[in-house]
């Protein structure tokens, strides 16, 4: 760095002059910094959009390529509240018989009331010997074939007993208000039933002895399995849910009994769920529309010409709201007229508009009453969105005849064939858009992420080089002014000496 001499001899405002000279050069450094910020924002915008594109690609588009997406079934049960059924995609249409013999239950014991030997109330910290239990007595807990022995000593409390029961694998607690122990299995089913045994006195004092005739005795509900008969075949489960041949049966109550004591049979009717197929297609189009509209909005965004990212010193003169509005103007236009975005939009809209052969006939989305609104009728940035005729949720087409629903009901196989092929075409188009390009972009990216990351990194070097040049330029001017000040100082010294000589000669 050059020696920086002020204008003591020249009388010039050296600092001000050099600042003005350097200011013009500093503009180029600031331009590079702003360009780096803008590119960083653009990368962020692409990352967010790419995530949405990938989500559509791996989500609804991928699912719609397979027959299972359209194998929707619905069921009805003749007896209300008996059970619910979720039919699997491979469930056969028809009627089945069903009877529910029992529901799965979890073993549950409500302990009898406890009290201390002197008749006072029991707390969690009460020692068991104070209940009249002899130290050395043992109670045993058995569940799932495992037996746990708990030996009571002088220091065993109600809370420590509860803790040991919990470690043995059950839910256990002491209700101080009710003065009772409560014990329950962690799962339903006979396999999780439990029992207590051991010293009778200890069991009685703890209220763990079953005695229905004694108001203070324990009351226990045994763990039980669910039993149902489907088409006269017996099925058992430790829970109230059965998975049978791809369908899910959830029991809710036990069947009524006939006069002879047998369980009354009910019926389960399975049919194709046409509304489910319709909703699947509607959801697919809704997700597609949401993304394509967003991409159109980004591509057709208003220009932000004249707006550049703000430097720290520029932000100081603005309010937070002004800064936010300024930056939003730039960020909204980052992908405006972007060629990569245009390519993605084009490939997706082309795939959706392509004709598909079904049964020797070429069909389009319009064949199913699904169309765009047209250039002049659609809202701005919604011209690629599809609408279903007769859709009650779409004010644009709700009054039109619902061709899609009619075709699902009359010819579901044609609907399935068309939309599986359409989805495959869209999936392939999106795969191509997200394919890897060596040195430019990674797999599953629709934009040149590698190239942009490299450009962003290069800006750091550019900024460093530009700042070095700016410092050199500034030093150069300080050197020049320092040299001038030195020269003026020498001249002033000579003049003073000459003046002294002349004065002396007089």
Domain boundary (201, 221, 241) is at 221
Q: How many domains does the chain contain in total?
A: 3
The pLDDT value recorded for residue 17 is 60
Between CA 333 and CA 128 the distance in angstroms is: 76
State whether 118 and 204 are in the same domain: yes
State whether 78 and 178 are in the same domain: no
The pLDDT value recorded for residue 12 is 55
Q: Which long-range contacts (CB under 8 A, 24 or more apart) does 429-435 make?
A: 429/347, 429/348, 429/350, 429/351, 430/53, 430/56, 430/57, 430/61, 430/347, 430/348, 431/57, 432/347, 433/53, 433/343, 433/344, 433/347, 433/348, 434/53, 434/54, 434/57
The pLDDT value recorded for residue 330 is 94
Residue 463 lies in a domain: no
Q: Are 208 and 133 in contact (CB under 8 A)?
A: no
Q: What is the pTM of this model?
A: 0.71
> What residues pair up with 173 in beta bridges, in sequence order?
182
Residue 142 lies in a domain: yes
Q: How many other β-carbons are positioned within 10 Å of the β-carbon of residue 254?
A: 16
> SS3 of 278, please?
helix
Domain boundary (433, 464, 481) is at 433
Residue 393 lies in a domain: yes
Cα dihedral 361, 365, 366, 368, rounded to 10, equals: 80
State whether 237 and 380 are in the same domain: no
State whether 53 and 161 are in the same domain: no
Residue 18 lies in a domain: no
User: Which domain does 258 fall in, by range?
Assistant: 73-104+225-272
Mean pLDDT by 10 residues, the chain (506 residues): 49 60 67 87 96 97 94 93 91 94 96 93 96 95 93 96 95 96 96 94 92 74 96 97 94 96 95 94 97 97 92 89 94 95 97 96 97 92 96 94 95 96 97 90 92 87 69 67 66 62 55
State whether 203 and 130 are in the same domain: yes
Q: Are 207 and 222 in contact (CB under 8 A)?
A: no
Structure tokens at 351: 């795939």
Residue 308 lies in a domain: no
Q: Are 218 and 205 in contact (CB under 8 A)?
A: no
Residue 466 lies in a domain: no
């Amino acid at each position: 760095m050059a020696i920086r001499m002020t204008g003591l001899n020249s009388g010039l405002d050296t600092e001000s002059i050099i600042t003005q000279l350097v200011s013009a050069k500093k503009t180029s450094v600031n331009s590079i910094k702003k360009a780096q910020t803008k590119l960083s924002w653009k990368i962020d915008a692409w990352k967010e959009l790419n995530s949405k594109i990938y989500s559509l690609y791996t989500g609804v588009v991928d699912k719609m390529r397979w027959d299972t997406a359209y194998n929707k079934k619905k069921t009805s049960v003749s007896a209300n509240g008996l059970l619910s059924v979720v039919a699997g995609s491979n469930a056969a249409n028809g009627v089945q018989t069903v009877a529910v013999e029992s529901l799965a239950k979890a073993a549950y014991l409500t302990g009898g009331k406890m009290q201390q030997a002197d008749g006072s109330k029991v707390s969690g910290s009460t020692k068991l010997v104070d209940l009249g239990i002899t130290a050395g007595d043992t109670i045993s807990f058995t569940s799932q074939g495992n037996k746990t022995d708990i030996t009571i000593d002088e220091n065993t409390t109600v809370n420590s007993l509860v803790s040991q029961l919990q470690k043995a694998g059950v839910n256990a607690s002491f209700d101080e208000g009710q003065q009772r122990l409560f014990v329950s299995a962690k799962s339903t089913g006979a396999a999780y039933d439990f029992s207590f045994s051991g010293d009778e006195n200890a069991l009685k004092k703890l209220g763990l002895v079953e005695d229905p005739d004694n108001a203070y005795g324990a009351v226990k509900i045994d763990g039980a399995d669910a039993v149902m008969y489907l088409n006269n075949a017996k099925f058992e489960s430790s829970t109230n849910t059965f998975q049978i041949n791809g369908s899910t049966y959830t029991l809710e109550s036990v069947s009524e009994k006939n006069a002879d004591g047998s369980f009354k049979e009910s019926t389960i009717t399975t049919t194709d769920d046409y509304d489910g197929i319709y909703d699947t297609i509607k959801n697919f189009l809704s997700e597609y529309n949401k993304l394509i509209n967003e991409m159109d909005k980004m591509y057709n965004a208003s220009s932000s010409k004249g707006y550049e990212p703000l430097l720290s010193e520029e932000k100081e003169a603005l309010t937070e709201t002004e800064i936010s509005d300024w930056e939003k103007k730039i960020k909204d236009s980052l992908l405006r007229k972007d060629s990569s975005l245009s390519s993605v939009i084009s490939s997706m809209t082309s795939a959706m508009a392509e004709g598909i052969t079904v049964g020797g006939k070429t069909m389009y989305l319009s064949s199913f009453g699904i169309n765009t609104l047209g250039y002049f009728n659609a809202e701005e940035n919604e011209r690629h969105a599809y609408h279903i005729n007769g859709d009650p949720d779409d004010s644009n087409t709700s009054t039109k005849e619902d061709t899609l629903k009619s075709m699902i009901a009359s010819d579901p196989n044609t609907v399935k064939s068309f939309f599986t092929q359409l989805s495959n075409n869209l999936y392939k188009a999106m795969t191509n858009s997200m394919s890897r390009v060596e040195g430019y972009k990674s797999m599953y990216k629709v934009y040149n992420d590698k190239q942009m990351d490299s450009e962003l990194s290069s800006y750091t070097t550019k900024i460093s080089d530009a700042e070095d040049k700016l410092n050199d330029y500034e030093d150069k001017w300080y050197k020049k002014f320092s040299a001038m000040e030195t020269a003026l100082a020498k001249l002033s010294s000579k003049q003073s000496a000459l003046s002294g000589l002349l004065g002396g000669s007089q």
